[in-house]
């Protein structure tokens, strides 16, 4: 006597049909909500953006002109230029939300402000690496602390700063840095935390087994 496959197959087809309809309905709802939100965003009047808490680069605290390397000189030149720009960390904010928050007439300027911030984060990371290569670790630390303080999304900046704290046994600062990452909305948060933990574990494993229990 054969196994009755047909009833189970029919049940599966019925379930699949309902599942597809459910997913289609969900997608249609999401699209309708998106376009309703976009319509509202495109009708949002200009908001006052003159008194926002803009970020400024403390360029006067950076060790400018420490190198004749063309790449370093170019980084410093661009940082100087961007230090006169208004900057905001708008990472993760959609174009629709930008228009809703600041008004459609301000969309282009706010987009540029966000793009300038992203560029600054890339430059700060490259600048810190150049400083480390020049054995100016304390200067690199100052640059990295500023980058982390404004919420850079460059994971390498967090790892380099964590390594600075680790090599100088600044465990309290390392703990604060890890906590900051853990409580953030960084896209690569878990990856950064893993890299920081690996740094700590490498440092810990350097001790003889009999000393590890007391570390």
Q: What is the pLDDT of residue 182?
A: 94
Residue 87's domain spans which residues?
46-212
Query: Both 5 and 65 in a single domain?
Result: no
Q: What is the pLDDT of residue 172?
A: 93
**Beta pairing partners, 55:** 87
Helix (H) or strand (E) holding 137: helix 137-149
> pLDDT tens for residues 93-103?
999 999 999 99
Query: Both 94 and 199 in a single domain?
Result: yes
Query: Both 69 and 25 in a single domain?
Result: no
Query: Both 132 and 204 in a single domain?
Result: yes
Query: Both 51 and 100 in a single domain?
Result: yes
Q: What is the pLDDT of residue 33?
A: 72
Those residues of the chain that have pLDDT short of 50 are 205-215
* Number of structural domains found in the chain: 2
Task: Report how far apart, in Å, the C-alpha atoms of 89 and of each of 52, 113, 160, 168 are.
Answer: 12, 8, 21, 30
Task: Report how far apart, in Å, the C-alpha atoms of 78 and of each of 6, 85, 126, 173 are.
Answer: 70, 11, 12, 30
Q: What is the pLDDT of residue 110?
A: 96
CA–CA separation, 88 and 165 (whole Å): 27
Query: Both 19 and 60 in a single domain?
Result: no
Q: Which two tokens stand for residue 101?
A: 């928050």
> pLDDT tens for residues 108-138?
999 999 999 999 999 999 999 999 999 999 9
Phi/psi for 55 (5° steps) reads -90, 135
Provide the 8-state DSSP code for 85: S
Query: Both 166 and 120 in a single domain?
Result: yes
Q: What is the pLDDT of residue 98?
A: 95
Query: Both 103 and 154 in a single domain?
Result: yes
């Amino acid at each position: 006597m054969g196994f009755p496959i047909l009833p189970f197959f029919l049940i599966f087809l019925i379930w699949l049909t309902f599942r597809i309809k459910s997913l289609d309905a969900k997608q249609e709802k999401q699209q309708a909500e998106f376009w309703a939100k976009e319509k509202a965003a495109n009708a949002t009047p200009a908001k006052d953006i003159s008194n926002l808490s803009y970020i400024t680069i403390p360029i006067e605290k950076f060790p400018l002109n420490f190198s004749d390397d063309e790449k370093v000189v170019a980084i410093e030149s661009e940082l100087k230029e961007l230090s006169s720009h208004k900057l905001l960390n708008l990472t993760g904010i959609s174009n629709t939300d930008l228009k809703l928050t600041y008004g459609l007439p301000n969309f282009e300027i706010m987009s540029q402000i966000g793009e300038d911030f992203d560029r600054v984060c890339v430059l700060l990371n490259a600048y810190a690496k150049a400083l480390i290569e020049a054995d100016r670790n304390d200067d690199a630390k100052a640059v990295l602390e500023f980058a982390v303080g404004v919420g850079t999304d460059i994971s390498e900046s967090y790892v380099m700063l964590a390594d600075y704290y680790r090599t100088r046994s600044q465990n309290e600062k390392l703990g604060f840095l890890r906590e900051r990452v853990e409580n953030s909305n960084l896209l690569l948060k878990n990856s950064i935390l893993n890299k920081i933990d690996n740094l700590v574990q490498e440092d810990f494993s350097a001790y003889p087994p009999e000393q590890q229990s007391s570390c």
